Structure 1
């Protein structure tokens, strides 16, 4: 795992205070006040909870899991290279791929299907349409509903705002 960095300036010049709480020396100097943040969820530490060493921000554990740098490394998995954890775009349940079959999964909590790689609702994953003799214009009726080009792994950090986390 990489050394922790400040979520604002991305510097490694941080000091761990206690529990999940850390202080960024660079941001504190530039802001002229102590800048504290949660090492787990990477958000500013609430000023009114400076006496506790556990983060009390909503969805801290969920954000921490999604920000983890652990990736699926199984070479046989269709989800290889994806973050180990994903949040369902529907209900935000924390999920992982079982490594078997295509990258499309169905959330066992809300029933929403999505691609574990690109997080789109409808995706053909890595199917090579040209190898199958199909041309993209033949699939034009799917244009707005299906992502027909090869999907790319989306980083969870890019998706936190969409999820409202």
Structure 2
């Protein structure tokens, strides 16, 4: 393991027989320097350890815990997209001990967040997962055992619990408030095409509660990258439901009226059976609009 090299100094060892070396282009950075030794990934594309490290770190900062090849397939504008196992990335990126620790710490947190929702106890800083997704009052078992009394904290403000319980809206700490509701309540109204007027520009995903902003391009549907569900930004129904009631209305009014500003955030039960999330409009339809992930 390289422990003293900086990222810019990484070079492959030509005597390493476990790697397949090539003299081709770096498919990530596009560098053609013939003096730089590159290695071939499992997908067949060549990389340099430095560009591979930067690319994978970028994916992590964008909250991705899986690594996919960004290279274009030969003679096309289609990305390779093949997933690289972390063990392969670690080896071919020549990750230092520090980089390996940082990568694995972030990857573990991102992967855990995909399958469960946890927060750190404000007292002992251990990870706690809620059993009752409708109750903000959470008991930390570690603190309870250490203190010899129940230690409860608020899932929303992360302060020791004040007031009666259970509660779904807030505890009695004065600063306890749902910032997402403030964002929804103060968002501007926009028009989606010529027929959908005065639609809130920010929505809470009706499946998981993630806040998404419409940029007024493309159709009225939005794909939530958190729960992988597509829904109509106007009526807040799943796309398949909206289209079933008024077929081919991707750019026009829904059967239902535009939903006003939301006053509550949906609770996402990640362990519930998955709903039909498939995107049902054909390939020749315009894609879903661009969006901005807010929080």
Q: Higher relative CO (CA 8 A, sep ≥ 6), structure 1 or 2?
A: 1
The structure number with the bigger radius of gyration is 2
Question: Does the TM-score normalized on the shorter chain lie above 0.5?
Answer: no
TM-score using structure 2 length = 0.26
